[in-house]
A and B are shown apart, each in its own frame.
Chain A
Amino acid sequence: MANNTRSPLWRKQAVMLVLASALIAGCSGNTGNNNNSAPNTGTPTNSAAPSPGDSSASSEPISLTYWTGLNAFAARSLKEYGESLFYQELEKRTNVKVKFEHPAVGSEAEQFNLLIASGKLPDVIEYNFTTYPGGPEKAISDKVIIPLNDIVEQHAPNLKAYLDANPEMKKEISTDNGTIYAFPALGTGNSNVSSGLVLRKDWLDELGLGVPETIEEWTNVLTQFKEKKGAKTPLTMTLAEFKSERFNGAFGIGIGFYLDGGQVKYGPIEPGYKDYLTQLNAWYKDGLLDPDFATQDGAAKDAKATNGSAGAFPAFIGSAMGKYLTANKDSNPAYDLVAAQHPVLNKGEEPRFFTAAYDYRGENSAGITPANKNAERTAAWLDYLYSEEGNLLKSFGVEGTTYTLEGDYPKYTDLIVNNPDGLSIGDAMAKYLRVSTPSPGFVGDDRYTEQYYSFDQQKHAVKLFNQYYDNLKDTRLPRVTPTVDEGQELSSIMAEVNTYFEEMFMQFVMGAAPIAEFDGYTAQLKKMGIERAIEIYQSAYERYMKR
């Protein structure tokens, strides 16, 4: 406000100086970068883009406070990200010292709300701003983060080059007004579908069954597992997994809001949902679906998946499949898993609904707060992660320590794949790098995926699950952003709708409410305003298409 008129000349000059030095740093980085650029590695980074990182070490050190959730895998061996090899090396290269603030693992969303309610903002917040009530625009008007268009234009050459080359992605990471609000976690490579349904291959082989594709085949397989293999809970899932798209796709409906020929629809009120509930209820009654799905946690499911109680379950290719296969390597060498294509209703159909990450991950995108006094330097620092060199550091670490170059191909050393301290590959990666979960920069590099998924079964799964990825273009709602007012209306509608829906879902599946009440249930959802919510998404979708 009055600040502008009062701020003395020297302060303006100082700002100019910082700007200039950042620019110079940006330009001179170019030469250092080219030596290292590995051609054609699948990373869409424009290697010609300058990288400010290596030479900005000469500029004066700054320190930042950085709020981000500590990933659960990393939390096993790190107290904070500052201890990880990646961030220590990054500090050396960029001269930016980072002080991390981590919320308690598992309650990031609550703690984020407390953080903004407290008004004491750190310099950088890493969060999924698309889930901010009212959307990223609201986060900006709430003065939680600042708009970044100018800053990206001037101080983030790597990100800018990438966005210029990928206009679709630019559309995704911006708001409807074209505001860039965060340094995004961008997916690359062909592994956006990282989970799906998995079955016991040894059981299938023994019973002479093929991998099921249709719901009918699934019922048959699960029944045989129960009768001939004595599986107590042939299909086991946790409650959270019913929020992912698993079996609903076969009935032609999405699990929440989805697209059908450019129209937004809400799965739980569509007629197809009734068929879906009927099927789940039948499986529940026949003892094919684990009756404890509502109360069991991930650990209980893991136990059932490995001890022969269950023969089919949804699983992440990396964390779950890898863990299950390793767990049984010695005790039960026959144990084998196979991934199943996302189920359909009739033979020959292509799956159209399944859970996949968006190319723009949303999660763990870094926003700069109004409290940050070094916004430009911070931007340049974050931008380093979008350079070839920065990506290599983030995904593969330090040459000689965590990877060696074979030709142009970075190969993880034994420190990662065969950790001397007995860490699993996922835990070791989480300890030294920031590669396996979203973070600002590029995620899902194919060179990483190939090495992370060490079992053949996993390599098969990643291909199979991603086979129909393009079908999602027509059925998946892109990351739309409702306006501030719409957002508030939406959240008050959805708070009630979600409670009611979750409750009724359980009752239908467990048989406490007969399926015949489905019409009454959809009527109640409509009374709670679900149609208005659909309208809001529809208009947000139309704005998105016009971006």
Chain B
Amino acid sequence: MRFIAKDYRRHKYLYFMIAPVILYYFIFHYVPMYGAIIAFKNYRIADGFLGSSWAGFSHFISFFDSYYFWRLLKNTLLLNLYMLLFSFPAPILFALLINEIAGKKFKSMVQTVTYLPHFISMIVICGMITQFVAREGVVTDILVWFGMDRTALLGHPEYFRAVYVISDIWQSVGWGSIIYLAAISGINPELYEAARIDGANRWKQTLHITLPGLAAIITILFILKIGNMLDVGFEKIILLYNPSTYVTADVISTFVYRKGLGGTNEFSYATAIGLFQSAINFMLLLAANRFSKKVSENSLW
């Protein structure tokens, strides 16, 4: 306490500056957590959070017993795994490529063009994707040219994950590369100079200087990604899926959405699933962090 008081006197303005952020997290992220108790209750709107009767773990049990539990879990994990395999490295590779571009004008043009999809709202993006992969869509045209049967891709469960992941790369590769580009520009140019004198070519320089320079940031982002393994951006799935693709597209968060707000109003049940999801995410995050601490120097804390 005394340390904080002393520190406060010394850095008064810094504390003022951080105050709104702390308040934000407290009000919008910690206070609502108290609502999570309805996961253990039979929540009724008229009775309120505290007045509703207790249900114990019954909502959790009925979720684990649900016909769809294993499928939801599998779909969620698989989709995240594919994202980790393909969507996560994409901006890194892209940043490395951009870094090698010599022409300044061309470089900034490439960057601007790839940032663009990030600024288009999700609903418009999904509208575009739906059009692109429809029976007469431009992506379908290309695939047909390569020998695929003409069909609307989003009507078939086997294509859903591919459409989802590839469109995600298109959407986020430019924006995601910014952080890596920043890290690259922070690497000491003398290192490259020394390497060149030692006879390293561009490829060797990338391999032995740029990539190690990025290692820290890559690890941290990777740990954070692992911590979200049970989350999928459900807006995008809801906008892209339909009953014929539920087999591969229905994930925990879309199921929660349909249960909680899709007309049946099982708030408690939906909250229980959400809580389960968060708990698993938190454990994964801890595990990934510990693992990373063991094998490398980098970790979140």
Interface positions of A (Cβ within 8 A of B): 109-110, 113-114, 116-117, 119, 131, 133, 141-144, 239, 291-292, 294-296, 300, 491-492, 494-496, 499-500, 502-503, 505-507, 510, 524, 528
Tell me which residues across on chain A come within 8 A of B135, comparing CB atoms.
291-292
Docked CA distance A131–B267 (Å):
16
Q: Does B67 contact A (CB under 8 A)?
A: yes
Q: Known contacts A294-B155, A492-B264, A495-B266; is A506 also within 8 Å of B46 by CB? A: no
**Contact of A133 with B45 in the complex, beta carbons under 8 Å:** no
Q: Which of A113, A494, A528 contacts B261 (CB 8 A)?
A: A113
Residue of B66, B134, B155, B264 most packed against chain A (CB within 10 A) = B264
Closest to A233 in B: B135
A-B contact pairs, 18 of them (CB 8 A): A119-B45, A142-B46, A143-B45, A143-B46, A239-B243, A295-B155, A295-B242, A491-B264, A491-B265, A492-B62, A494-B264, A495-B262, A495-B266, A496-B67, A499-B243, A499-B258, A503-B243, A524-B67
CB-nearest residue of chain B to A132: B265
Chain A residue at smallest Cβ distance from B246: A503
B264 partner residues in chain A, CB cutoff 8 A: 133, 491-492, 494-495
In the complex, what residues of B have CB within 8 A of residue A141's CB?
46
B206 contacts A by Cβ under 8 Å: no
Contact call B152/A292, Cβ cutoff below 8 A = yes
- What 6 A-B pairs have minimum CB-CB distances, sorted nearest first? A502-B243, A506-B244, A491-B264, A142-B46, A294-B244, A133-B265
Q: How far is the CB of A522 from chain B (nearest CB, A)?
A: 15
B48's closest neighbor in chain A, by CB? A119
Closest-CB distance, A429 to chain B (whole angstroms): 29
Minimum Cβ distance to chain A for residue B178 (Å): 32
Given A142-B44, A506-B242, 19 other A-B residues pairs in contact with their CB atoms under 8 A: A109-B262, A110-B261, A114-B261, A116-B45, A142-B45, A143-B45, A143-B46, A144-B45, A239-B243, A292-B134, A294-B152, A294-B244, A491-B263, A491-B266, A495-B264, A495-B266, A496-B68, A499-B258, A506-B243
How far apart sit A502 and B244, CA to CA, in the bound complex (Å)? 8
**Which among A117, A143, A524 has the greatest number of chain B C-beta atoms within 10 A?**
A117
Do B261 and A492 touch across chains, with their CB atoms under 8 A apart?
no
Which residues of the other chain, B, contact A294 by a CB distance below 8 angstroms? Answer: 152, 155, 242-244
Assuming the contacts A142-B45, A291-B155, A494-B264, asked whether A499 and B242 have C-beta atoms less than 8 A apart, the reply is: no
Contact: B243 with A505, CB < 8 Å? yes
A505 — which chain B residues lie within 8 A by C-beta?
A: 243
Chain B residues with CB under 8 Å of A500's CB are 67
Q: B residues engaging A (CB < 8 A)?
A: 44-46, 62, 66-68, 130, 134-135, 151-152, 154-155, 242-244, 246-247, 250, 258-259, 261-267, 269
Please indicate the chain A residues that have their CB under 8 angstroms from the CB of B45 in the complex. 116-117, 119, 142-144
Is the beta-carbon distance between A499 and B46 smaller than 8 angstroms?
no
Given contacts A113-B265, A492-B266, A528-B67, contact A295 B258 (CB under 8 A): no
Nearest-CB residue, chain A, relative to B150: A291
CA distance A295 to B160 in the complex (A): 12
Contact A499 B246 (CB under 8 A): yes
**Cα–Cα, bound, A32→B44 (Å):** 47
Contact A503 B152 (CB under 8 A): no
For B244, the chain A residues whose CB sits under 8 A away are 294, 503, 506-507, 510
Contacts of B152 in A (CB 8 A): 291-292, 294-296
**What's the Cα separation between A300 and B131 when bound, in Å?**
10
In angstroms, Cα B68 to Cα A524, docked, is 12
Say whether, besides A142-B46, A295-B134, A117 and B243 are in contact (CB < 8 Å): no
CB distance from B99 to the nearest CB of A (A): 40
Closest to A114 in B: B261
Report if A117-B46 is in contact (Cβ < 8 Å); known contacts: A110-B261, A502-B243.
Answer: no
CA distance A141 to B47 in the complex (A): 10
B257 and chain A: residue at smallest CB distance: A110
User: A361 CA to B264 CA in the complex, in Å?
Assistant: 21
Closest to A144 in B: B45
- A residues in contact with B62, CB < 8 Å: 492
Among A114, A116, A503, the one with the most B-chain Cβ atoms within 10 Å of its Cβ is A503
Closest to B264 in A: A491
A157 to B130, CA, bound (A): 53
Complex Cα distance, B265 from A291, in Å, reads 33
Interface centre among A109, A141, A300, A495 (most CB of B within 10 A): A495
> Whole-angstrom distance from the CB of B260 to the nearest CB of chain A?
8
Q: How far is the CA of A505 from the CA of B258 in the complex (A)?
A: 19
Task: Report how far A119 CA is from B258 CA in the complex, Å.
Answer: 21
What CA separation (Å) do A294 and B246 show in the bound complex? 12
B258 to A495, Cβ gap below 8 A?
yes
CA–CA, A131 to B263, complex, Å? 8
Assess the B269–A239 pair: CB atoms within 8 A: no
| Contact among B67, B130, B247, B259 with A295 in the assembled complex (CB-CB below 8 Å) | B130
CB-CB under 8 A from A110, the residues of chain B are 261-262
A494 to B243, CA, bound (A): 15
Question: With A502-B243, A510-B244 in contact, is A117–B267 under 8 Å at CB?
Answer: yes
Enumerate chain A residues within 8 angstroms of B46, measured Cβ to Cβ: 141-143
Point out the residues of chain A lying under 8 angstroms from B243, CB to CB.
239, 294, 499, 502-503, 505-506
Nearest chain-A residue to B151 (Cβ)? Answer: A291
- A492 to B262 CA separation, bound complex (whole angstroms): 12
